[in-house]
Every structure is written in C-alpha cells, then in structure tokens.
Amino acid sequence: MSNRKTVDISKEEIQEQKEYIDNIKELIKGRSLKYHIITYGCQMNIHDSEKLAGMLNSMGYTETSDQAEADLILFNTCCVRENAEHRVYGNVGALYLNKQQNPNLIIGICGCMMQQRDVSDYITKKFPFVDLIFGTHNLHRFPKLLLEAMDSRQTVVEVLDEEGRIVENVPIIRNLGVTAWTTIMYGCDNFCSYCIVPYVRGRERSRQPSDILDEINQLAEEGYKEVTLLGQNVNSYGKDFNEPYYFSNLLRYIDRVDGIERIRFMTSHPKDLSKDLILAMAESEKVCEHLHLPIQSGSNRILKQMNRGYSRENYLELVNEIRHQIPNIAITTDIIVGFPGETEEDFADTLDMVEKVRYDSAFTFIYSQRTGTPAAKMSKQIDENIKKERLQKLMDVQGKISKEINDKAHDTIVDVLVEGLSKKRDDMYTGRTPQNKLVNFAADHNTIGNIVKVKITQPKTWTLEGIMI
Ligand code: SF4
C-alpha cells in the first residue's frame, strides 16, 4: 500500500501502454527500423532517454549512432540554459531536408523544454515537419503517442501540466554494464531564484522504497556493481510521504542489497542534509566517500538572493561535520558566477569559500538569464566580460586546489571499480575510486566490473593515472 500523498499511474494505464508497444511491434515486424536519441542536460534526462530507448527496443527498433540512417530521431531536451534551447532549434531546423528526402522519418521532441507551453507552441508553428511533441510528465505515454504520430499527418502534441504521478515498470535500456542510475524522486520544491526546474519538472514526488529496492535488486542480478540514486534534491526524499521516511533510511536499506558494491547519489541540497544522513553514510559499507554539495555562491547576500536557504556559516559547519564523520570524503560542488548584483566583494567571498572548503573539484558556471525565473527579472545583471573574468579566476583557484589534492594520491594504492577501456588509450582501463576520481591504468587482463587495486603513478588535475597491482 502506498504511503505517498501522490498516486501511481494505474496498472490499467501501464497495461494500455504495453499494448501500444505490442501494436507497434506488430506494425514494424520484418522491417529493420532504427532510432537515434539526442539527449541534452543532466543525468535525470540521460536516464529518461534510457527509458525511451527501453520502450523503443521493446517495440523492435534498434539503436543507431548515425543520425543519417535513423527512421526515428528523438530530441530529449533540457531548458536549464537558454542557449541550449537555441541549439535545439538549430538542430531540429537542420532536419527539414532529411524529412523532405525521407517523408517516413519520424522526428520527436520531448523533455523539459516542451513543458513550457510557449516553446512547444513555437516549435509546432516554426517546424511543422516535427511529428511528435511531449513533455516530462507523460514520458510513459510515448508508445501511444508514437503510434498516433505514425498515423497522423499533423504534429501530435501532448504536454501535461499534471504532475504527482509516478510510473513504475517502464523498460529501461542502460548503456553501461557496471554502473547504473536509478531515479528515486522527481521534481523539486526549492525554487532557487535562477532555476527553471520546479516549473517544468513539478513538485517533489518520491518513489516507494519497495519499488526502488526491487529495481536495485534487479540491477544487482543483472551484474551491475554500482548504483547512483538520482533526484533534484535527494535529501528531500520521503518528505511527500504521509508517514515519516527519510533518505537516510533508504540508504541503509540499499546498503544491504547483495551484489551492489557501491552506492552514490546526487544532488544533495545543503539545507536538507541531515546529521542522520551523514551518520548513515559513515556507517554504511557501500556508500561512497564522495558528496556533491552545491554551494552556488560563497556570499551570504547572494545566497539569499538565490533563495538557497543556508548561509556560508551553515555550509562550513556541515562540511566540518561531514569531514569529522567521514575523514576520507571527497567534496565537490557547483558554483555560479555573475549572479545579478554580484559585487567584487561577493565574488571574493566565493573564492574564500573555495579556499576554505578545498573542494576536490567544482562545476563552475556563468550565470545566464533564464526566462521565467525571478532572477531573470532582477536588476544589476552583470556584464558578460566581468562574468568571464570571474569564471577564469575561479577555475584557476579550483584547478590549483584539485591538483594539490590529487598530488597527495601519488604512490598511494586506491580501489578502482573498473568501468571499461579508456576512451583515449585502448591499452588502458578506466574506473573510479570511492571518492569519484577517474583513474586510467594499465592492466594485463580484462578487469571490467571488478574492484582492483591501482598504484597511482601520475596524478593530474582532474584525473589520476596508475598501474594495477
Ligand atoms: S534545488 Fe534549486 S537549483 Fe536544484 S533543481 Fe531545485 S530549484 Fe533548481
């Protein structure tokens, strides 16, 4: 029985989609049809694309990496940055000729961008050759919509405003054989002033612990060794349940799943990171010693403008507590420079926090106005050249710290979960330490899927190199 305030998609509705999958399978039987999915944005989107791929494979399509030979091209879009949206328009527009040459080509666009009505309306008008448009809340209805698009001469559009429903049992095709992502919750309630996500992904909805555990047990059976739990703010997991249930509870259960050797999660909002979660991480056997804790700014004034809900002092306290409980932990972060009104003093506070916390690495971004968010309307937008200068300074400071931290790993022996052959050198394998450091190393036999000991011989700024021992 569900203890969630929101409801699951009904079994009947799931069954209905399965029937559409079978219908398409029958329809395309004997033809070798291929699909190509182009994904923009975060891990949540990449994971959604895995679900779309899963449904397409169940229909009988096969994947191609060559857009030119695809019978179905799907854009899974992201709306976090406005220039990414412009790239989508450009890439969709470029398919006009393909569609002229091959009228049977099906072009679909889905994802966060489509959740904005003005954008989906614009695409329908500007690119009438697009066959299918749907949003994030109705991804599970893709089989039905695809079947309609196959039959229709007009663009099939379905963008639901409705949220609060969770779909289970959607087939998923995961690309990697060692590590897998599992979404544990959808949406976000935080409304950071620069972010569009709560408007397009809706309010927080947590999956049932039993559904998540079933999925992770299944992953273990399939041979996956590492699972990354995904949510816009995993620390809020369970807050939408009627009965109290916390992310720390979930971690403790997942820690007991046989076969899974490593657990990671992202993203963690500092204001919701509880002491019990830190304790659960410290006590668990499998939760990796890595925490991605976005700070966004080191200035209290800017943090307030961003509606982040914590101060630099709160953040530093958290970091001290985490390092006290988990001494080997690697902490990484996200930082935005050039938020509206950011003064040199505010920026100096950010650099100061970076020096104080000594992050292992940071994703650094230039603030860009996102229509539809409060920050986009704020006065005192910062000059682009100043933003670029600040970004460079920040990257220099962080790069130096990352290199100093990695240098300390020289000659040490680390545990690496091997993910595959290195993309750059086919005589080397690649994998990650519990601290999420990417290690490239020489090995004399196939080690994929194993945790091996590697001696670090060459620390670099962002990666480590070594020899398996
Ligand atoms: S926590 Fe803030 S930045 Fe993250 S998704 Fe929610 S609103 Fe956006």
Per-residue pLDDT 10s for the chain (469 aa) are 345 555 555 667 777 888 888 889 888 888 889 999 999 888 888 888 988 998 999 899 999 999 889 999 999 998 877 777 888 899 999 999 888 888 889 999 998 888 888 888 889 889 999 999 988 877 888 999 999 898 887 888 887 766 656 666 666 666 557 999 999 998 899 999 999 888 888 889 999 999 999 999 999 999 999 999 999 999 999 999 988 899 999 999 999 999 999 999 999 999 999 999 999 999 999 999 999 999 999 999 999 999 999 999 999 999 999 999 999 999 999 999 999 999 999 999 999 999 999 999 999 999 998 888 999 999 999 999 999 999 999 999 999 999 999 999 999 999 999 998 887 777 899 999 999 999 999 887 788 999 999 999 999 999 999 999 9
What is the DSSP-derived secondary structure letter of residue 287? B
Cα(424) to ligand 1 centroid in Å equals 34
- List the one residue out of 142, 150, 84, 78 whose CA is nearest residue 114: 78
Question: How far, in Å, is the centroid of ligand 1 from the Cα of 43?
Answer: 14
Q: How far is the CA of 68 from the centre of ligand 1 (A)?
A: 36
Predicted confidence (pLDDT) per residue in 321-337, tens digit: 999 999 999 999 999 99
The verdict on pTM exceeding 0.75 is yes
pLDDT at residue 370 in the model: 87
Structural Rg of the chain based on CA atoms: 23
CA-CA-CA-CA torsion sign (419, 330, 455, 469): negative
Atom of ligand 1 nearest to the CA of 269: 1
Is the minimum distance from the CB of 233 to ligand 1 under 6 angstroms?
A: yes
User: Within its chain, how far is the Cα of 129 from the centroid?
Assistant: 30
Distance CA 264, CA 281 (A): 10
Degrees to nearest 5, angle at CA 373 with 200 and 93: 60
Strand order in the sheet with 179-183: 179-183, 226-230, 262-266
Q: Which of 229, 6, 13, 232 is nearest to 138 (CA)?
A: 13
The preferred substitution site among 185, 230, 232 for testing ligand 1, maximizing ligand atoms within 8 Å of CB, is 232
Indicate the fold that domain 176-288 takes in CATH. Transcription Regulator spoIIAA (3.30.750)
Any ligand 1 atom below 6 A from CB of 195? yes
Q: Six-digit token pair at 458?
A: 């060459």
Domain 176-288 matches domain 290-407 at the CATH topology level: yes
* Polymer length of the chain: 469
Ligand 1 pocket: which of 78, 79, 188 to mutate (most atoms within 8 A of CB)? 188
Q: Residue 198, exposed/middle/buried by CB under 10 A (0-12, 13-18, 19+)?
A: middle
Locate the ligand 1 atom nearest the alpha carbon of residue 188 and give its number. 6
Per-domain boundaries in the chain: 7-163, 176-288, 290-407, 413-468
Question: Is the CB of 192 inside a 6 Å radius of any atom of ligand 1?
Answer: yes
- Phi/psi at 448 (5° precision): -60, 130
Helices and strands (H and E) in the chain: how many: 14, 21
Nearest atom within ligand 1 for CA of residue 196: 8
413-468 CATH choice from 1.10.10.10, 2.40.50.140, 3.90.1150.10, 1.10.3720.10: 2.40.50.140
Q: What is the CATH number of domain 7-163?
A: 3.40.50.12160
Please tell me if the CB atom of residue 197 comes closer than 6 angstroms to any atom of ligand 1.
yes
**Spatial CA neighbour of 107 closest among 119, 124, 121:** 124
CA of 197 to the centre of ligand 1 (A): 6
Burial of 103 (0-12, 13-18, 19+ CB in 10 A): exposed
Q: Which two tokens stand for residue 369?
A: 């106005």
Long-range contacts of 219-222 (CB under 8 A, 24+ apart): 219/180, 219/182, 219/260, 220/257, 220/258, 220/259, 220/260, 221/259
Span between the terminal Cα atoms of the chain, in Å: 50
Pairing of strands 451-459, 463-468: antiparallel
CA distance 176 to 224: 9
Q: CB-based burial of residue 149 (10 Å sphere; 0-12 exposed, 13-18 middle, 19+ buried)?
A: buried
- The answer, yes or no, to whether any atom of ligand 1 lies below 6 A from the CB of 236, is no
Ligand 1 near 235 CB (within 6 A):
no
C-alpha 342 to ligand 1 mean position (Å):
19
Residue 30: CB atoms within 10 Å? 5
Pick the CATH number of 290-407 from 3.40.47.10, 3.40.640.10, 3.30.750.200, 3.90.1150.10: 3.30.750.200
